[in-house]
Chain A
Amino acid sequence: MKTEHQPILDEQTRRVNLQQVINLLGPFLILAFVVMFFAIIMPGEVADTFFSAYNFKLILTQTVVVAIGSIGMTMIIVSGGIDLSVGSVVALTSVLGAVLIKSGSSMGMMILAVLATGGLIGLLNGVIISVFRMTPFIVTLGMLGIARGLTKRLADNQTVNLPDIALPSVGLLMADPDPNGYFVAPGIAVVIDLAIIMALVLNHSVFGRYIFAIGSNEATARLCGVRTRLVKLSVYTLSGVFFGLAGLMQFSRLRQGDPSTALGIELDIIAAVVIGGASLNGGTGSILGSMIGALTMAVLRSGSTQIDWPNYVQEIIIGTVIILAVGLDKWRQSRGRQ
């Protein structure tokens, strides 16, 4: 039905659409900026290796763990929460995988156990946060310590080595890409599939709508009959399963159980989600953005390593990029409001 207001409101819709495109473009811009930065700064022969197709496939493989983690983290952050226990959960589940394989369990059983453990820890986080109404930051900070401690106990505080015969099947998910052919690690396909499914869930399912509603205004969501506690609990549990999956990938990549692995990886994951356009206040964020964010983090790490910068330079540069990304987001939002 046409009314005389139509042109103005079409304008409003168009402006918002444009803004959404810009928001989506933001993470890509940051990635492009990082790539260009390396292109300019790298000496010729290093650049040739860095910008090869093989290295790109390698970077993709290195992205897998952080990318899966940031799919779960995106859900949590959109709902207005945070999870600091990811690194410990990744370590716990990867060591659990190693212990199980070493004791002769089948691949299928091992995968099931790893995912269930991740989900269980997420469920525990979710129950404490939503039923006992404690702050996610504190609850998951506590869980960070608990899970890391359990990991060390499980591994007897040393690396869990596998029999040689088990190595190829364990390592398959995160196998090195074929330098000349088309083969990439199956883990990459898992990430892409999971990202597509979760993007659909966040944008097209009732569950997804409720996650956004709770992060944006929890009081209103409850007033509209949304079961906010159940939704939050489900978010943490489902994310826990994803963190278990990330642990599986880490195990596959290391082909051993290392109780000190993935230390501080939660910060990379949170950075990826924030670079991807999510706000730590909740209510905004996207899976696609977080995936680009995860890729950006991997490119930064890989590039810094190949230039042969010492570790401390890496840390400083990554820290700077995170602050720049959030600054860009703030600026974008204040522009959008005018």
Chain B
Amino acid sequence: MSVPRLRITKVKKCFGATQALRDVSLVVGSGEVHALIGENGAGKSTLMKILSAAHSADGGEIQLDGQVFAPATPLEARSAGVAMIYQELSLVPHLSVEENILLGREPQRLGWIDRSERRRLALAALAKLNQQHLPLKVPVNQLSLAQQQMVEIARALVGSPRVLIMDEPTSSLTQVDTKNLFEVILRLRDSGVSIIYISHFLEECLELASHYTVLRDGESVGMGRMTREALPGIMRLLVGRELSEVYPRVPHSVGATLLEVTQLRGVLKPRNVSFQLRAGEILGIAGIIGAGRTETLRALFGLDPQIGGEVKLRGSSCNRATPRAWLQKRVGYLSENRKEEGLMLGRSISDNLLLSNLHPCATGGFINRRRQDRLASSWMSTLGVKARNSAQNISDLSGGNQQKVALGRLLHHDAEILLLDEPTRGIDVGSKAQIYQIIGQLAAAGKSVIFISSYLPELLGVCDTIGVMCRGTIRTIRPAPEWTEHSIIATAIGQDEN
């Protein structure tokens, strides 16, 4: 029996207390396109970072053509023949196409770049992709996304890699560009390159890959030949967990329409999003990473430009309103990026809680310290924030307590509509349950919530209505009881029968 191109055996990886990879095994033959499938957070990225030497494994073994493969630096991984194409394009924006393709391996004579040789090598790499018409001297920030992707692939092809890893390469491409990319992938496969293709879109995997491996919670839970018959089994493996957490339901009823969004369009995403939000409604938005969920809220809230569409609040038009204007209309937004955007790390709990509405504790423009502390302390006990006092630095708190403070800011602002982007990401189970409780109480008080989450059980457990996004649009909106995890995933990856 011949030696496989790449053999990964029982690889493990921990980050502190979190076990990102428990037990992953994967075998890829030469000239094979291998689909790596898994939900957000299943460990795909960690595995790929180990292969490209951005991380090192804690246990297990990786063999490349029968030799042990343990690169210490990204450069070593590349020289050994493993090249990676990242989901977010990683080009140097100001350098030209040919400079990007040869970056780090410039042909040189005594430190001076051999320009004609560089040109020849860049052209040779582009020719493998049938893209030799790309303008070599143009800075890459002048190219379209699809062109940039070709440059990125060309860079990976310099030095003839044996294994090429592609992470969600189609997430920002149009259909035509995707088709071209597929031709390129198949051409590379036929020339003997092994390709690990990471994608949420099973249809794509079916078109390209001959084999698959499914990752779930850091383990490889299934592998086999990629055929249409294998799809139902893969879907089962993807979902495969029990509704273990309990979602406290606060009884509430849904009233008249408050917010009406019609064909909302942003710069790239969202492409076309329409929905209605009623008083006392919890509207969940599901979708894979890159579907445009965050971008929808950002364009709605005026953080990113709104290019087209219509936004109405209580029947009056609110197109292109600024965040300040939305806050004045008592609409609040909770960022998914707690550390960089959601909170002022380094400032106190009370500063973070009260920033958007300082009037209750200010007189004539000056903040009354005692009133501020009293106000913040009362919110802290309402929210169950565990801390010494309201003057404590927010960065000392656990993720769960930080998130309660961030959510508390919207409560203190007395927002009527709360736009919550991944409010439970990266926090402990107890805090999650408290946040579900708060959301339920808000709805019972007649307030409306939009709840973005990648964790389906909580959406199904908490929301009244769920909309599923796919490639920049909301594909389907239905009452939550009419959804199952299976049908949400199928819609999110474009596998529903629409």
Contact = CB atoms under 8 A, between A and B. Distances in A.
Contacts of B105: 224-225
A256 B113 CA distance: 43
A215 B92 CA distance: 9
A13 interface: yes
Contacts of A16: 135, 137-139, 142
Contact of A283 (B75, B93, B134): B93
A213 B115 contact: no
A215 B94 CA distance: 9
Contacts of B137: 13, 16-17
B104 interface: yes
Given A204-B112, A205-B113, A206-B106, A223 B94 contact: no
Given A1-B132, A16-B135, A226-B103, A206 B111 contact: yes
A283 B94 contact: yes
A13 B138 contact: yes
A222 B138 CA distance: 22
A16 B140 CA distance: 11
Interface in A215-250: 215-217, 219-226
Interface string A9-31: 11011011100000000000000
Interface string A198-216: 0000001111010011011
Contacts of B99: 209, 213
Contacts of B90: 217, 219-220, 223
Nearest to B74: A223
Interface size on B, as a range, is 20 to 34
A6 interface: yes
Contacts of B155: 224
Contact of B112 (A12, A15, A205): A205
Interface string B130-153: 001111011100100000000000
Contact of B142 (A10, A12, A207, A212): A12
Q: Is the interface of A mostly helix, strand, loop or mixed?
A: helix
Contacts of A3: 132-133
Nearest to A17: B137
B471 interface: no
Q: Is the interface of B mostly helix, strand, loop or mixed?
A: loop
Nearest to B123: A1
Interface in B204-234: none
A226 B113 CA distance: 15
Interface size on A, as a range, is 20 to 34
Contacts of A13: 135, 137-138
A335 interface: no
Contacts of B111: 205-207
Interface string B68-107: 0000011100100000000000111111000100011110
Contacts of A205: 111-113
A281 to B, nearest CB: 10
B487 interface: no
Contacts of B73: 225
A209 B113 contact: yes
B108 interface: yes
B410 to A, nearest CB: 33
A86 B94 CA distance: 27
A215 B75 CA distance: 20
B138 A225 contact: no
A6 B133 CA distance: 6
Contacts of A217: 90-93
A337 to B, nearest CB: 9
B125 to A, nearest CB: 14
Q: Residue among A6, A204, A220, A284 with the most chain B CB within 10 A?
A: A220
B339 to A, nearest CB: 18
A209 B103 contact: yes
A216 B142 contact: no
A216 B111 CA distance: 21
Contact of A225 (B78, B94, B112, B134): B78
Contacts of A222: 74
B115 A204 contact: yes
Contacts of A220: 90-92, 103
Contacts of A219: 90
B155 to A, nearest CB: 8
Nearest to B76: A225
B60 to A, nearest CB: 24
Contacts of A284: 94
B94 A212 contact: yes
A207 B110 CA distance: 11
Nearest to A5: B133
Contact of A209 (B74, B106, B142): B106
Given A5-B133, A223-B74, A204 B92 contact: no
Contacts of B132: 1, 3
Nearest to A336: B142
A219 B74 CA distance: 12
A36 B135 CA distance: 39
B95 A9 contact: no
Nearest to A208: B113
Nearest to B86: A223
B135 A9 contact: yes
Contacts of A207: 111
A219 B78 CA distance: 16
A205 B73 CA distance: 24
A283 B99 CA distance: 13
A336 B148 CA distance: 18
A78 B138 CA distance: 19
A216 B133 CA distance: 25
Contacts of A215: 94
A160 B399 CA distance: 62
B138 A216 contact: no
Nearest to A16: B138
Contacts of B108: 206
B112 to A, nearest CB: 5
A279 to B, nearest CB: 9
Contacts of B103: 209, 213, 220-221, 224, 226
B97 to A, nearest CB: 10
A224 B139 CA distance: 17
Q: Residue among B115, B137, B138 with the most chain A CB within 10 A?
A: B138
B34 to A, nearest CB: 23
Interface string A256-297: 000000000000000000000000000110000000000000
A212 B99 CA distance: 10
A195 B92 CA distance: 26
Interface string B43-87: 000000000000000000000000000000111001000000000
B75 A225 contact: yes
A266 B177 CA distance: 49
Q: Across chains A and B, which 10 residue pairs bring their CB atoms closest together, nearest first? A: A224-B104, A225-B75, A225-B104, A283-B94, A216-B94, A13-B135, A224-B103, A5-B133, A216-B92, A220-B90
18 contacts: A1-B133, A5-B133, A6-B133, A16-B142, A204-B112, A204-B113, A209-B106, A212-B95, A215-B94, A216-B92, A216-B94, A219-B90, A220-B103, A221-B92, A223-B74, A223-B90, A224-B155, A225-B74
Given A3-B132, A219-B90, A226-B103, 11 more contacts: A1-B127, A3-B133, A12-B142, A16-B135, A206-B112, A209-B95, A213-B95, A213-B99, A221-B104, A224-B103, A224-B155
Interface of B: 73-75, 78, 90-95, 99, 103-106, 108, 111-113, 115, 127, 132-135, 137-139, 142, 155
Interface of A: 1, 3, 5-6, 9-10, 12-13, 15-17, 204-207, 209, 212-213, 215-217, 219-226, 283-284
